[in-house]
Structure 1
Amino acid sequence: MTDTDNGNDADDDIVDELPDEIPDESEGDEELSADDVQDVLLYTLDWSVQSLLDRIGNTFDINPAFQRRDAWNGERKSQYIESLMLGLPVPQVVLAEDKASKRFIVLDGKQRLITMKQFGKPDDNFAAFKLRKLKFLHQLNGKKFSQIENSIENGEFAESFLNQPVRTIVVRNWRKTAVLYEIFVRLNRGSLPLSPQELRQALYPGEFSTWINKRSASSVEIQAARRLKREDFRMRDAELLLRGVAFMDSIETYDGDLREFLNRMCERGNSDWSKFSERYEKYGDDVERSIRRAGVIFGTRNTYLRYIGDEGGQSGFVRRFNVAVFDLMTMVLASPEVEDSVIEEHKDLLQDAFKNLCIEDSRFEDSIKSTTKTPSATAYRVIAFGEKFSEITGVEVSATRRAKELLANTQAR
């Protein structure tokens, strides 16, 4: 059964987090062959915790900004440390060796490595924590590593922690980042699904990527759009900001491979950050303005949802976050050509126009429901709502023109 809602309650507080209507939107469409993965080499290393502590944040490239998105609570961290102290089995860490940069990309085990570093060798980027709720070593509750290490009674546990071997699998000889994404997805299948944005941050480190991470984590508007109460350790808020920035920056070049499109945005943003940081900051402002305007039109409950009218006994908005609707609303509503007062004046007509497109235009419905990632679908949904927006407000928006350029480029291929 489809969850729906009919209301328009602009003054409501942020509602509970919504599931996604369009799954795996961030996964790319690049075809991989058996040859692509058969060339990959694996080797195994058993590094001591002491050796790992020296590498974390150095050759093991874990962006310190990730600490804002710490996925483990104090109890889970403490139990992991206790396992290392007692020599209990712990999961292996999986790394990918990047020969070009002479660093290692963490594919699986980031939280475990962060926990080791925070406990055993804290610094300004990896804040220390005290052990709590240990199951066996009760005498260590409330203590930091430095206190245990300097203790006559318990120093042996600090030594055991540092000497504990951790099995590490290293992936070498990979030629396409798509191979790493495939490994990443398979490692996490069957457990809590993780956003590819986390891997993207590791693959494309730099000032732009750090800005995406920090700005999304502190943005009230982006948290509200994604129905989050705080920064998301799965980095869905970061990916949402990245999507908005990427389409604003170069929607005309979108070729249907969304993952690669976002990857290229990170590469470009990192390389030209010193020249164009003000432009990217403006894009961030534009994304936040579009979110506020969407709230005015649809209310906080119904932003970025698909409307189904009266379908199969259900009616109203489908209560699933629809990222395709986010993309089109962000492009159109961010338009600087229109004033906020115009949005307020025409909010009811704009909402009705969107509803009518959803139930009367089958091509538009497809573009936000099934064929969402193709360039033609991306262009059409922006054009369709952009033209309705201009009819209602009397303001021509650049998003419509740019989407038509994308459509022309697609047809010319």
Structure 2
Amino acid sequence: MSQEEEFAADEVDDSDLSAGALSVKPWDPAKIRITTKNFSLREVVQQINDGEVDLAPDFQRDYVWKERQRTRLIESVLLGIPLPAFYFNQDRDGSYQVVDGVQRLSTISLFMRDGHLLDRRDLEYLDDLHGSNYSKLKPAALRRFRSTQIVVHVIEPQTPDEVKYDIFGRVNTLGSPLSAQEIRHAMSKPRSRAFLRELSELASFDIATDWHFWRKDPSTGARIRDSGRMTNRELALRFCAFVDFNYDEYRSHSSLDAFLVEVTRRLDGTSESERSISAPELGALRNRFDRAMEAAAVLLGRAAFRRMPPGQSRRGPINRAVFESQAIALSEYPITELRPFAQEIERKFRQAFDDAKYSKAVTVGTGDPNAVAYRLDQPRLILRRILDA
């Protein structure tokens, strides 16, 4: 297998997601607030235009519908075929974020702005509409399209975030179930989205992860970004979450997922229980993340962020917990201070997997506070011993 083929075959290790809960706590059904509303397409598109409904424009951007899918959806509406239900998250300010149905609403909004032409090759029944956009529809078809009703299940703001997260995790979309980070992204605001995107698209991150979050466009052969269902942003979020780890603060959350939701709110400046992360602090976080990625690429190379014990030539996939463990330790030193010890740092970091407790902390029950503390401490101790020798 060539090096490029090996990189393409790599996945992100999901074994560390199997037991993330800090405690088992069934949700009180009385806290769940879900209402079902009916909107006309005209109403919901007007709300999108007014900024009252947030489509999270870069959400699921790697899964944008093709022309054929868009045309078939428009044709279904014009034929009077009911659309599947949508799921919205309602924020405290009354605005909505679309959690399930982004592509459908994006397509409808695009069409109603004359941004999509119907093509005979993609129409199954209404081929007389070939070449038509929204404005060219006959008055009867326009009225039918605008007045089409959609069913929206709204998760109301008084529902706790942890409960919302669990509800959205159960939602099956028309494609694949939402990933954990896609759910957090859908519940977030532009500030955190932009910041996590910036971190995950740094050149240093691309190099440190060995260009894992890129793929070849089959039609052109060009390399394009592939977020891996937003796993790249989840790695950046986890770095931000654990960079100044506080054991007691972490334990106050019901699960790792709940903690990451709260950190997202801190990045957005919308947390009601914790201090928001200021703009200067975001800048410092970015610099520290960039420094960690540079160091990982230079010092660890192919072994960065993967379980790769000594003597093993074939590396494992990127592991979220290993990413936190190695990146945060490396972020605490300038590369000039670490570079002279590159070989020893790589050897010691790989030897860490021979420690059964460390290996367990990055693979099993990784949300447990003791596992988090242990895996964050070990690379720090390794660097301290090397530099103090």
TM-score range, shorter chain: 0.7 to 0.9
**Cα distance, 1:110–1:142 mapped onto 2, change above 3 Å:** same
Alignment of 1:91-110 (within 5 A): 91-98=84-91, 100-110=92-102
Q: In structure 1, how many angstroms separate the alpha carbons of the residues matched to 2:380 and 2:340? A: 17
Q: In structure 2, how many angstroms separate the alpha carbons of the residues matched to 1:72 and 1:190? A: 12
1:164 CA drift (Å): 1.9
**Cα distance, 1:13–1:197 mapped onto 2, change above 3 Å:** same
- Once the two structures are superposed, residues 60-100 of structure 1 have per-residue CA deviations (whole angstroms, 9 ceiling, x without a partner) of 233345485664333323322221122224211123444x3
Contact 2:18 2:365 in 1 (8 A): no
Contact 2:184 2:261 in 1 (8 A): yes
1:278 corresponds to which residue?
280
**Cα distance, 1:290–1:144 mapped onto 2, change above 3 Å:** farther
Cα root mean square deviation, aligned: 3.5
- Once the two structures are superposed, residues 180-211 of structure 1 have per-residue CA deviations (whole angstroms, 9 ceiling, x without a partner) of 1111111138952422333323434252x133
**Cα distance, 1:305–1:138 mapped onto 2, change above 3 Å:** farther
* Code of the aligned partner of 1:46: N
Correspondence for 1:374 among 368, 373, 383: 368
1:47 corresponds to which residue?
39
1:380 CA drift (Å): 1.6
Correspondence for 1:236 among 194, 209, 231: 231
* Code of the aligned partner of 1:161: F
Give the TM-score of the pair, scaled to structure 2. 0.79
Contact 2:16 2:319 in 1 (8 A): no
**Cα distance, 1:317–1:280 mapped onto 2, change above 3 Å:** farther
Alignment of 1:135-146 (within 5 A): 135-136=123-124, 137-140=126-129, 143-146=132-135
* Code of the aligned partner of 1:240: L
Alignment of 1:294-373 (within 5 A): 294-299=296-301, 301-308=302-309, 315-335=312-332, 337-340=333-336, 342-359=337-354, 361-373=355-367
* Code of the aligned partner of 1:320: P
**Cα distance, 1:248–1:79 mapped onto 2, change above 3 Å:** same
Alignment of 1:77-226 (within 5 A): 77-98=70-91, 100-121=92-113, 128-131=115-118, 133-136=121-124, 137-140=126-129, 143-146=132-135, 148-149=136-137, 156-172=140-156, 174-188=158-172, 192-207=176-191, 209-216=192-199, 218-223=201-206, 225=209
- Once the two structures are superposed, residues 259-304 of structure 1 have per-residue CA deviations (whole angstroms, 9 ceiling, x without a partner) of 23222222223329998213212312321221232122332x4321
**Cα distance, 1:74–1:287 mapped onto 2, change above 3 Å:** farther
Contact 2:305 2:318 in 1 (8 A): yes
Aligned residues: 366
2:308 equivalent to 1:287:
no
Give the TM-score of the pair, scaled to structure 1. 0.75
Correspondence for 1:260 among 258, 261, 284: 258
1:72 corresponds to which residue?
65
Q: In structure 2, how many angstroms separate the alpha carbons of the residues matched to 1:189 and 1:70? A: 12
Q: In structure 2, how many angstroms separate the alpha carbons of the residues matched to 1:294 and 1:327? A: 12
Gaps of 5+ in 2: 215-224
1:213 CA drift (Å): 4.3
* Code of the aligned partner of 2:81: L
Q: In structure 1, how many angstroms separate the alpha carbons of the residues matched to 2:67 and 2:174? A: 24
**Cα distance, 1:173–1:160 mapped onto 2, change above 3 Å:** same
What fraction of aligned residue pairs are identical, expressed as a percent? 23
SS of the equivalent of 2:306 reads coil
Contact 1:212 1:242 in 2 (8 A): no
